[in-house]
Amino acid sequence: MQIELSNLHKTLGKNHALRGITDIYESGKVHGIIGPNGAGKTTLMRIMAGLLSPAEGSIAYRSKDDRPISAGEAKLRTGYFPQEPSLYPDLSCHEHLRFFAELYDMKEEHFKEKSEQLLKATGMMPFRSRPAGKLSGGMYKKLGLMCVLLNSPALLLLDEPTIGVDPVSRRELWDIVYKSAGENMTVILSTSYMDEAERCGKIHVLNEGRLIASGTPQEAKRQFGTDKFEEIFLKN
Protein backbone atom coordinates (compact mmCIF):
# COMPACT_ATOMS: atom_id res chain seq x y z
CA MET A 1 0.00 0.00 0.00
CA GLN A 2 1.26 3.48 -0.86
CA ILE A 3 0.41 6.58 1.18
CA GLU A 4 0.43 10.11 -0.17
CA LEU A 5 0.31 13.04 2.27
CA SER A 6 -0.52 16.56 1.15
CA ASN A 7 -0.01 19.61 3.39
CA LEU A 8 -1.02 17.86 6.62
CA HIS A 9 -1.55 20.03 9.67
CA LYS A 10 -2.65 18.89 13.12
CA THR A 11 -3.07 20.81 16.34
CA LEU A 12 -3.41 19.03 19.68
CA GLY A 13 -4.50 21.51 22.32
CA LYS A 14 -2.05 24.40 22.07
CA ASN A 15 0.56 22.23 20.36
CA HIS A 16 0.90 22.46 16.58
CA ALA A 17 1.96 18.81 16.20
CA LEU A 18 2.23 18.70 12.39
CA ARG A 19 3.09 21.63 10.15
CA GLY A 20 2.40 21.15 6.43
CA ILE A 21 3.63 17.58 5.88
CA THR A 22 3.74 16.58 2.19
CA ASP A 23 5.35 13.22 1.50
CA ILE A 24 5.01 9.80 -0.17
CA TYR A 25 5.46 6.35 1.42
CA GLU A 26 5.98 3.88 -1.42
CA SER A 27 4.67 0.30 -1.35
CA GLY A 28 6.76 -2.64 -0.22
CA LYS A 29 9.47 -0.76 1.67
CA VAL A 30 10.56 -0.33 5.28
CA HIS A 31 10.02 3.36 6.00
CA GLY A 32 11.38 5.05 9.10
CA ILE A 33 9.84 8.16 10.66
CA ILE A 34 12.85 9.56 12.49
CA GLY A 35 12.92 12.30 15.06
CA PRO A 36 13.36 13.23 18.71
CA ASN A 37 10.57 13.14 21.28
CA GLY A 38 7.92 15.71 20.45
CA ALA A 39 8.71 15.76 16.73
CA GLY A 40 5.19 14.66 15.74
CA LYS A 41 5.91 11.01 14.97
CA THR A 42 3.02 9.46 16.93
CA THR A 43 0.52 12.04 15.65
CA LEU A 44 1.51 11.28 12.05
CA MET A 45 1.29 7.53 12.65
CA ARG A 46 -2.20 7.86 14.14
CA ILE A 47 -3.40 9.91 11.19
CA MET A 48 -2.10 7.28 8.76
CA ALA A 49 -3.83 4.59 10.84
CA GLY A 50 -7.14 6.47 10.61
CA LEU A 51 -7.27 7.11 14.36
CA LEU A 52 -6.94 10.89 14.00
CA SER A 53 -8.12 13.30 11.33
CA PRO A 54 -5.88 16.10 10.06
CA ALA A 55 -6.93 19.68 10.74
CA GLU A 56 -5.85 20.58 7.21
CA GLY A 57 -4.54 18.70 4.21
CA SER A 58 -5.30 15.25 2.86
CA ILE A 59 -4.12 11.66 2.91
CA ALA A 60 -4.59 9.21 0.03
CA TYR A 61 -3.99 5.46 -0.18
CA ARG A 62 -3.14 3.41 -3.26
CA SER A 63 -2.67 -0.33 -3.77
CA LYS A 64 0.58 -1.82 -5.04
CA ASP A 65 -0.95 -1.85 -8.55
CA ASP A 66 -1.72 1.90 -8.20
CA ARG A 67 -5.45 1.48 -7.54
CA PRO A 68 -7.00 4.18 -5.31
CA ILE A 69 -8.09 2.81 -1.91
CA SER A 70 -10.76 4.42 0.24
CA ALA A 71 -9.87 5.45 3.79
CA GLY A 72 -12.30 2.82 5.11
CA GLU A 73 -10.73 0.01 3.10
CA ALA A 74 -7.23 1.17 4.02
CA LYS A 75 -8.13 1.07 7.72
CA LEU A 76 -9.31 -2.54 7.39
CA ARG A 77 -6.02 -3.50 5.72
CA THR A 78 -3.83 -1.69 8.27
CA GLY A 79 -2.15 -3.16 11.32
CA TYR A 80 -1.28 -0.59 14.00
CA PHE A 81 1.21 -1.34 16.78
CA PRO A 82 1.14 1.40 19.47
CA GLN A 83 4.06 2.28 21.71
CA GLU A 84 2.49 0.31 24.57
CA PRO A 85 0.49 -2.69 23.28
CA SER A 86 -2.61 -3.33 25.40
CA LEU A 87 -2.45 -7.04 26.14
CA TYR A 88 -4.32 -9.05 28.75
CA PRO A 89 -1.90 -10.12 31.53
CA ASP A 90 -3.80 -13.34 32.32
CA LEU A 91 -4.04 -14.59 28.72
CA SER A 92 -1.24 -16.73 27.31
CA CYS A 93 0.54 -15.97 24.05
CA HIS A 94 -1.50 -18.59 22.21
CA GLU A 95 -4.75 -17.35 23.76
CA HIS A 96 -3.94 -13.83 22.55
CA LEU A 97 -3.41 -15.10 19.02
CA ARG A 98 -6.67 -17.05 19.23
CA PHE A 99 -8.49 -13.93 20.46
CA PHE A 100 -7.19 -11.81 17.57
CA ALA A 101 -7.96 -14.56 15.07
CA GLU A 102 -11.60 -14.38 16.14
CA LEU A 103 -11.55 -10.59 15.74
CA TYR A 104 -10.15 -11.05 12.24
CA ASP A 105 -12.66 -13.84 11.51
CA MET A 106 -9.85 -16.15 10.39
CA LYS A 107 -10.52 -19.69 9.27
CA GLU A 108 -9.16 -22.33 11.64
CA GLU A 109 -6.77 -23.83 9.10
CA HIS A 110 -5.31 -20.44 8.24
CA PHE A 111 -5.01 -19.52 11.92
CA LYS A 112 -3.07 -22.68 12.78
CA GLU A 113 -0.65 -22.17 9.91
CA LYS A 114 -0.10 -18.46 10.52
CA SER A 115 0.16 -18.66 14.32
CA GLU A 116 2.75 -21.45 14.19
CA GLN A 117 4.69 -19.50 11.57
CA LEU A 118 4.77 -16.41 13.78
CA LEU A 119 5.63 -18.28 16.97
CA LYS A 120 8.57 -19.93 15.23
CA ALA A 121 9.75 -16.74 13.51
CA THR A 122 9.77 -14.80 16.79
CA GLY A 123 11.29 -17.59 18.87
CA MET A 124 8.18 -17.56 21.05
CA MET A 125 7.08 -21.16 20.50
CA PRO A 126 8.51 -22.35 23.87
CA PHE A 127 6.53 -19.58 25.58
CA ARG A 128 3.20 -20.03 23.82
CA SER A 129 1.50 -21.00 27.11
CA ARG A 130 3.06 -18.24 29.23
CA PRO A 131 0.71 -15.42 30.37
CA ALA A 132 1.47 -12.01 28.88
CA GLY A 133 1.89 -10.57 32.37
CA LYS A 134 4.90 -12.84 32.95
CA LEU A 135 6.76 -11.99 29.74
CA SER A 136 9.89 -9.85 29.60
CA GLY A 137 9.65 -6.44 27.93
CA GLY A 138 11.05 -7.70 24.65
CA MET A 139 8.83 -10.79 24.61
CA TYR A 140 5.79 -8.65 25.41
CA LYS A 141 6.55 -6.46 22.38
CA LYS A 142 6.99 -9.55 20.19
CA LEU A 143 3.62 -10.89 21.29
CA GLY A 144 1.96 -7.58 20.42
CA LEU A 145 3.65 -7.61 17.03
CA MET A 146 2.49 -11.18 16.36
CA CYS A 147 -1.10 -10.18 17.09
CA VAL A 148 -0.87 -7.34 14.56
CA LEU A 149 0.83 -9.52 11.92
CA LEU A 150 -1.62 -12.39 12.27
CA ASN A 151 -3.98 -10.89 9.69
CA SER A 152 -1.16 -10.14 7.18
CA PRO A 153 -1.95 -6.41 6.83
CA ALA A 154 -1.04 -4.56 3.63
CA LEU A 155 0.18 -1.66 5.78
CA LEU A 156 1.99 -2.21 9.08
CA LEU A 157 2.42 0.85 11.31
CA LEU A 158 4.81 0.44 14.23
CA ASP A 159 5.02 3.32 16.70
CA GLU A 160 8.45 3.13 18.38
CA PRO A 161 8.38 -0.70 18.61
CA THR A 162 11.87 -0.98 20.11
CA ILE A 163 11.59 1.66 22.83
CA GLY A 164 12.30 0.32 26.31
CA VAL A 165 13.65 -3.08 25.24
CA ASP A 166 17.14 -4.54 25.53
CA PRO A 167 19.59 -4.54 22.57
CA VAL A 168 19.06 -8.24 21.80
CA SER A 169 15.28 -7.79 21.66
CA ARG A 170 15.72 -4.70 19.48
CA ARG A 171 17.68 -6.77 16.97
CA GLU A 172 15.10 -9.57 17.06
CA LEU A 173 12.24 -7.13 16.49
CA TRP A 174 14.08 -5.68 13.50
CA ASP A 175 14.56 -9.19 12.09
CA ILE A 176 10.77 -9.67 12.26
CA VAL A 177 10.24 -6.33 10.49
CA TYR A 178 12.61 -7.30 7.67
CA LYS A 179 10.89 -10.66 7.22
CA SER A 180 7.46 -8.98 7.12
CA ALA A 181 8.14 -6.19 4.63
CA GLY A 182 7.98 -6.86 0.93
CA GLU A 183 5.74 -6.83 -2.10
CA ASN A 184 2.56 -7.48 -0.10
CA MET A 185 3.32 -5.35 2.96
CA THR A 186 4.53 -1.80 3.50
CA VAL A 187 6.11 -1.19 6.90
CA ILE A 188 6.27 2.27 8.47
CA LEU A 189 7.89 2.58 11.87
CA SER A 190 8.80 5.51 14.06
CA THR A 191 11.87 5.72 16.24
CA SER A 192 13.92 8.21 18.21
CA TYR A 193 16.96 5.91 18.02
CA MET A 194 19.17 7.50 15.39
CA ASP A 195 21.10 4.27 14.73
CA GLU A 196 17.87 2.62 13.54
CA ALA A 197 17.54 5.11 10.69
CA GLU A 198 20.30 3.24 8.85
CA ARG A 199 18.18 0.08 8.82
CA CYS A 200 15.34 1.66 6.79
CA GLY A 201 14.92 1.69 3.04
CA LYS A 202 13.62 5.26 3.19
CA ILE A 203 13.52 7.72 6.05
CA HIS A 204 11.24 10.67 6.79
CA VAL A 205 12.89 13.03 9.26
CA LEU A 206 10.60 15.12 11.48
CA ASN A 207 11.52 17.95 13.80
CA GLU A 208 8.99 20.12 15.67
CA GLY A 209 6.20 18.92 13.42
CA ARG A 210 7.99 19.69 10.16
CA LEU A 211 9.36 17.29 7.55
CA ILE A 212 13.01 18.31 7.14
CA ALA A 213 14.23 15.40 4.98
CA SER A 214 12.87 12.45 3.01
CA GLY A 215 14.84 9.85 1.07
CA THR A 216 17.33 7.08 1.66
CA PRO A 217 19.47 7.40 4.80
CA GLN A 218 22.45 8.28 2.60
CA GLU A 219 20.48 10.98 0.74
CA ALA A 220 19.33 12.57 4.00
CA LYS A 221 22.84 12.76 5.38
CA ARG A 222 24.19 14.22 2.14
CA GLN A 223 21.43 16.83 2.18
CA PHE A 224 22.68 18.12 5.54
CA GLY A 225 26.36 17.53 4.86
CA THR A 226 26.90 15.10 7.70
CA ASP A 227 27.55 11.42 8.30
CA LYS A 228 25.69 11.32 11.64
CA PHE A 229 21.92 11.63 12.01
CA GLU A 230 22.24 13.33 15.38
CA GLU A 231 23.87 16.31 13.66
CA ILE A 232 20.80 16.81 11.44
CA PHE A 233 18.82 17.89 14.49
CA LEU A 234 21.65 20.05 15.81
CA LYS A 235 21.51 22.00 12.54
CA ASN A 236 17.74 22.61 12.72
In this structure, the answer to whether residues 158 and 226 fall within a common structural domain is: yes
Average confidence (pLDDT) over 76-87: 88
Residue 14 has pLDDT above 90, yes or no: no
Q: 8 and 66: one domain?
A: yes
Please indicate, yes or no, whether residues 73 and 175 belong to a single structural domain of this protein. Answer: yes
**pLDDT at 235 > cutoff 80:** no
**Structure confidence at residue 108 (pLDDT):** 92
Q: Percentage of the chain with pLDDT > 70?
A: 98
pLDDT at 181 over 80: no
Least confident of 5-14, 27-36, 174-183: 174-183
Last residue within a domain, chosen from 125, 151, 177: 151
Any domain includes 85? no
pLDDT at 28: 86
| Predicted TM-score (pTM) of this structure | 0.90
37 pLDDT higher than 80: yes
pLDDT at 234 exceeding the cut of 80: no
**Domain assignment present for 15:** yes
What is the domain count for the chain? Answer: 2
Asked if 14 and 69 sit in the same domain, the reply is yes
Q: Average pLDDT for residues 123-140, to the nearest whole number?
A: 93
At a CB cut-off of 8 Å and minimum separation 6, what does 76 contact? none
Query: Is residue 51 within 8 Å of 80, Cβ to Cβ?
Result: yes
Q: Mean pLDDT across the stretch 90-116? A: 94
| pLDDT attached to residue 214 | 92
* Residue 218 within a domain: yes
Cα–Cα distance for residue pair 217/208, rounded to 1 Å = 20
Query: What pLDDT was estimated at residue 113?
Result: 93
Q: Do 66 and 101 have their domain in common?
A: no
Examine the domain organization and report whether 131 and 162 are in the same domain: no
With cut-offs at 50, 70 and 90, classify the pLDDT of residue 11: very high
Is residue 221 in some structural domain?
yes
CA 169 vs CA 16, 136, 172, 198: distances in Å:
34, 10, 5, 18
On whether residue 41 sits in a domain, the answer given is: yes
Return d(Cα 1, Cα 164) in angstroms, integer. 29
Q: Residue 175 falls within a domain, yes or no?
A: yes
Name the average pLDDT for the chain. Answer: 90
Looking at residue 212, which CATH number applies to its domain? 3.40.50.300
SS3 content of the chain, % helix, strand, coil (to 5): 40, 30, 35
Mean per-residue pLDDT for 17-30?
Answer: 94
In a domain, 27, yes or no: yes
pLDDT computed for residue 195 by the predictor: 82
Q: What is the pLDDT of residue 188?
A: 95
Last residue within a domain, chosen from 151, 168, 190: 151
Q: Name the domain boundary from 151, 172, 198.
A: 151
Please check whether residues 72 and 159 belong to one and the same domain: yes
What span, in angstroms and rounded, lies between the C-alpha atoms of 113 and 37?
39
Tell whether 104 and 122 lie within a shared domain. yes
130 and 69 within one domain: no
Domain encompassing residue 99? 90-151
* Burial environment of residue 129 by CB neighbours within 10 A (0 to 12, 13 to 18, 19 or more): exposed
Assess if residue 82 is contained within a domain: no
Q: Is 200 in the same domain as 134?
A: no
Q: Are residues 72 and 157 in the same domain?
A: yes
How does pLDDT run across 204-213, given as a tens digit for each residue? 999 999 999 9
> Is residue 122 located within the same domain as residue 166?
no
